[in-house]
Amino acid sequence: MSNDIIGQENIKKLFLNSLKNDTLGHCYALEGESGMGKSLMTDYIAQMVVCENHCACGSCKSCVMAQAGSHPDIEHIVPEDGKKNIGVEAVRSMIADIYVRPYMSKRKVIIINNFELAMPQAQNAILKVLEEPPEYVLFLLTVSSEKDMLDTVKSRSVMLKMQPYTKAEIGRALSEKTSLSKDEIAFSCAYAAGNIGKALKIASNEEFTDIRNKSFSAVMALIDEHRILPLINLTKKENSKNISSILECLLSFLRDIMLIRIGMEDSVINRDFAEKLSQAAQKTEPEKLVRAMQDLLETENYLRRNINYNLAVSGVLLGSLEEL
Ligand SMILES: [Zn+2]
């Protein structure tokens, strides 16, 4: 971890000010989809809180220990070995320890990333602490959606939404961490739509280029020749581990065709395919594109809810895309 992390300036400022004015609360929950850097941010805030200079300076003893993961006043609660969820057992030892004052810092920081994994019993145990917290305790939670938190826990937490990263911020991360060319960086920035993790994932995934090319061919086969076979092959069950990338690529091509169709060429993401996408735009109707995009999103939704793969893909996706 460097002594600064990219983006989320409002959140950083909030903690800097609260530390400066000594107005820090007891529980903060960072909300945002996967890839938004929530757990990096909780580590960074924890470092800021224990830092002897209250700013994650990176050079004081507390910062060095926090960065090495060995600061005695920062604790992570994770599922127990072999378990997927955070059960009440996992929080029990933390609770036993919570009334022991911090060793080095003014505060004791408890980090629970992916709070959606905390079972109601575990959340209730944490609630008990939050009802009358020792003055030095700070909980930092991350959650994909606030819906996954018990209302009672939510009402005792300050909810903070992770903000989309700017293209400049994502560009900075990509040029620091990858050896992509300028054009590749521009595509990843546009494609990732503010999600820094997604941009890094695309950049480091060789398979992604292949998926993207195949998705493009599948869309063109549909629109140009009314052939659905490439799409059926692409989305068959053996490719299910890549289905979310496949759906995203399909969606990005349809979206680009739609943008061209309504005269917004400047916003196209897949610029390297722009010419062929323009030709496709002349061959289909906006209404059909909108319906196909809606069904793509619905398929994503079904798959996220673990609805039977074939049902989601053949039942929803293939039917509507066939009409393009
Ligand atoms: Zn420091």
CATH number at residue 254: 1.20.272
Residue 188's pLDDT is 87
Cβ atoms of 15 and 48 closer than 8 Å? yes
CA of 123 to the centre of ligand 1 (A): 31
Question: Do residue 63 and residue 155 come from a single domain?
Answer: yes
Identify whether residues 157 and 210 lie together within a single domain.
no
Range of the domain at 155: 9-161
Ligand 1 centroid, distance to 323 Cα (angstroms): 59
State whether 131 and 75 are in the same domain.
Answer: yes
> What distance in angstroms lies between residue 56's CA and the mean position of ligand 1's atoms?
5
Residue 5 Cα to ligand 1 middle (Å): 14
CA of 199 to the centre of ligand 1 (A): 30
Of the three residues 135, 161, 187, the one that is the final residue of a domain is: 161
Same domain, residue pair 17 and 127: yes
Q: Which two tokens stand for residue 135?
A: 């003055």
- How confident is the model at residue 214, as a pLDDT? 95
Rounded distance from Cα 30 to ligand 1 centre (Å): 22
In this prediction, residue 280 has a pLDDT band, given cuts at 50, 70 and 90, of very high
- How many A from CA of 264 to the centre of ligand 1? 48
Clarify whether residues 226 and 85 are in a common domain: no
The Cβ-side half-sphere exposure at 165, using a 13 Å CA radius, reads 28
Q: Assess whether 115 and 209 both reside in one domain.
A: no
pLDDT greater than 60 at residue 124: yes
Q: What is the mean pLDDT of the chain?
A: 91
Domain assignment of residue 52, yes or no: yes
Residue 277: phi and psi, rounded to 5, are: -65, -35
Residue 187 maps to a domain: no
Q: Residue 173 falls within a domain, yes or no? A: no
Domain with 87 in it: what CATH number? 3.40.50.300
- Give domain status of residue 181, yes or no: no
Looking at the domain assignment, is residue 1 inside a domain? no
Q: How far is the CA of 55 from the centre of ligand 1 (A)?
A: 6
User: Is the confidence at residue 39, as pLDDT, over 60?
Assistant: yes
Distance 50 CA to ligand 1 centre (A): 7
Would residue 192 count as lying in a domain? no
Residue 141, helix vs strand vs coil: strand
Work out the pLDDT band at 164, boundaries 50, 70, 90: very high
Same domain, 150 and 218: no
What spacing in Å lies between the alpha carbon of 175 and ligand 1's midpoint?
26
Q: Is 306 inside a domain boundary?
A: yes
**Which stretches of 193-308 are DSSP H helices?**
196-204, 206-225, 229-234, 243-261, 274-281, 286-304
The number of domains in the chain is 2
Q: Please give the model's pTM, rounded to 2 decimal places.
A: 0.77
Ligand 1 centre to CA of 48 (Å) is 7
Q: Measured in angstroms, how far is the CA atom of residue 16 from the centroid of ligand 1? A: 12
Rounded mean pLDDT, 281-299: 91
Among the listed ranges 32-36, 92-96, 112-116, which one has the minimum average pLDDT value? 92-96
256 is a domain residue = yes
Domain-ending residue, one of 139, 161, 183: 161
Which of 161, 177, 195 is a domain's end point? 161
